[in-house]
Amino acid sequence: MTRDRRRKAEIHAHQATTGAAYLVARRQIAALAEVMQQHPRLNSFGIGVFNPLRKTAEQRRTEFAVGREELAGGVVMVMETAAWLRENITPIKTPTVSSYTVKHVMQRATGRYVTNGVFIAAALVAGYTFKYEQPNVLFGMSARDLKRMN
């Protein structure tokens, strides 16, 4: 029972932030949760943690947990980024473009900053083909569209 109340409260908070209908807000939260479940190393940094060899195991776990929380709380940014991607970048079959590169193209085009992890989650929600290349991900996105955006 308590879990349902928390989930409903999260959905209502997301509704208040975005103005979306209840079912839309619920689907958006569920979509991000599904991506995070399918990609357990995904967090706000990207895949894994920054400079892991210079950190203790405890530091890596702590940084990773904080990054997962930040990403889970960024539903609005993930969905806005996914919508921008669907409108502007055509998907292709072969993953060739780094998430970090496209993230910067999007930032120049929109003037909004997003973390690498938020961008990766948005592209995964939008359904682009992918290939891991830690801490970034290669995505199947049209080079022609990216050049047009630059």
- Mean pLDDT over 81-89 rounds to 95
For residues 66 and 6, the model is more confident at 66
- Which amino acid type is present at position 48? G
pLDDT at 43: 93
pTM of the entire predicted model? 0.86
Q: Reduce the DSSP state of residue 47 to 3 states and report it.
A: strand
Mark 100-127 as b/e (b = at least 16 C-beta within 10 Å). Answer: eebbebbeeeeeeebbbbbbbbbbbbbe
- Mean pLDDT over 107-131 rounds to 94
pLDDT at 19: 83
Least confident residue range of 22-31, 104-113, 133-142: 22-31
Q: Judge whether residue 2 has pLDDT over 60.
A: no
